[in-house]
Structure 1
């Protein structure tokens, strides 16, 4: 039912500052901008997903709701939206696995720059049943326009989104058995904790369990993003030249990868650059 990751929503107080930060980080221009329902939105659409930046605007119930979320939880990752080719079937599955989906609604968005219009259908699972992570499911009528490359060594797409949990068995049941994502890896490490990788299109939903005494076992948290690049040395050099603090390159947790941590310029989101090293010929 789930064909990939459609988009991830990031809540911010200042939409202009956020758009500037992510244009610099991704090396790409915004692909869509609009306002409505109490929020300004800027979208960056990459090879395999869209990043949606959202900030409250004006004075309305919807805007106040967003401000209240930011006040309580801070800026950062707010929700995840899975792509589906048939939202009606997805809705029926969510009902069968007792995730109490909202009724399917049709949505329209107009880009404030080009005037183009997009249509989609979406539903949302009950957040109290998705372990505190806000989850939407969306069927797009047509593809979104891609974000234009603005510099050398841009980010290609998302490699994985990280979800932190204190109950790995329940999290695995949610993403695997109930949502139907395929588990690609399940391993434990004395330094990293337990890692579970679930395939979602051509990227990964990574569930991480690092035991913390007294932590909330009922609620998971969207924790971080790993951005895919072709040449990690070139991407790191570009970002450092732009004034960002980027760690040294090191071997990734997944064999055949190299990573570098972004220490700023991410609007407070834990973020990595990741390069998949090509397989060596026999």
Structure 2
């Protein structure tokens, strides 16, 4: 049913400041700008997904709702959307596994710079049945334009999206059994808790239960993003020169990886950058 991760949505207060921050972080220019009913959006499209920044605009119920969410939780991740090849088939599957999908809607967006149009069909599973995480499903008519690199050390794509849970068994049932993602890893460690990796196209949906008290057993949280880079040292140097706070590069938990944390300039999103070791031909 699911072909990959289509996009993630980050709510921002200012549609100019938010994209400016991500132009620096990603080393890429926006690929799409649009005005909707109560919102303005900017897209960055990379090799394997899109990042959508959304800000409130005007005085509409949609704009008020976005402002309310930002007022309660601050800027940050709001939802994500799986790509599907057949929205009607996806709808039937969601209905069969009792996720109560919304009626399929046909949507279009117009790029304010070029005047181009994108069309897609989408549905959304009931949020109370996806453990509080807003999850959409989308069949896109045409490929989105990609974001041009503005640096030789730009971000390549997304490596994984991170979901925090207080009930790993029920979260595993949702992403594995009900949504049909393939579990690639289930591992526990006394320092960092339980990790579950689900394959989604060429990236990973990571579900983690951290060793903290009072975790909500009924509501998960869309927690963070990990981006792929080709040369983490060059990317770090670029970000430091731009005044973005980052950690030192360290060895990742997964063998053959090096990672660093981004401390600011992410609009409230927990962010990690990851470099994979080059594969040596056998």
TM range (shorter): over 0.9
Give me the TM-score of the superposition, normalised by structure 1.
0.98
Give me the TM-score of the superposition, normalised by structure 2.
0.98
Counterpart CA distance in 1 for 2:67 and 2:43 is 20
1:278 and 2:275 equivalent? no
Match of residue 193 from structure 2? 193
| Secondary structure of 1:174 counterpart | helix
Alpha-carbon offset, residue 281 of structure 1: 4.7
Q: Is the 8 A contact 2:132 2:221 kept in 1?
A: yes
1:79-120 per-residue CA deviation (whole Å, 9 max, x = no partner) reads: 010000001000000000000000001000000000000000
1:213-237 per-residue CA deviation (whole Å, 9 max, x = no partner) reads: 2221100001010010001111111
What is the aligned length?
282
Counterpart CA distance in 2 for 1:267 and 1:58 is 21
Match of residue 128 from structure 1? 128
1:63 and 2:63 equivalent? yes
Match of residue 5 from structure 2? 5
Counterpart CA distance in 2 for 1:26 and 1:212 is 31
Alpha-carbon offset, residue 279 of structure 1: 2.6
Match of residue 98 from structure 2? 98
1:166-221 per-residue CA deviation (whole Å, 9 max, x = no partner) reads: 00000000000000000011101121110000000000000010133222110000
Counterpart CA distance in 2 for 1:94 and 1:110 is 29
Counterpart CA distance in 2 for 1:185 and 1:27 is 31
Match of residue 266 from structure 2? 266
Match of residue 80 from structure 1? 80
Q: Is the 8 A contact 1:155 1:229 kept in 2?
A: yes
Alpha-carbon offset, residue 280 of structure 1: 3.5
Match of residue 202 from structure 2? 202
Within 5 Å, give how 1:101-250 maps onto structure 2: 101-250=101-250
Alpha-carbon offset, residue 36 of structure 1: 1.2
Match of residue 252 from structure 1? 252
Counterpart CA distance in 2 for 1:119 and 1:94 is 22
Counterpart CA distance in 2 for 1:163 and 1:28 is 25
Counterpart CA distance in 2 for 1:275 and 1:212 is 28
Q: Is the 8 A contact 1:166 1:212 kept in 2?
A: no
1:16-74 per-residue CA deviation (whole Å, 9 max, x = no partner) reads: 10000000000000000011110010000000000000000101111111111111222
| Secondary structure of 1:93 counterpart | helix
Runs of at least 5 residues in structure 1 that lack an aligned partner in the other structure: none
Counterpart CA distance in 1 for 2:203 and 2:9 is 17
Runs of at least 5 residues in structure 2 that lack an aligned partner in the other structure: none
Counterpart CA distance in 1 for 2:143 and 2:176 is 27
| Secondary structure of 1:15 counterpart | coil
Match of residue 89 from structure 1? 89
Which is worse superposed, 251-260 or 104-113?
251-260
Kindly report structure 1 stretches of 4+ aligned residues shifted beyond 6 Å: none
Counterpart CA distance in 1 for 2:214 and 2:263 is 28
| Secondary structure of 2:188 counterpart | strand
Counterpart CA distance in 1 for 2:212 and 2:251 is 26
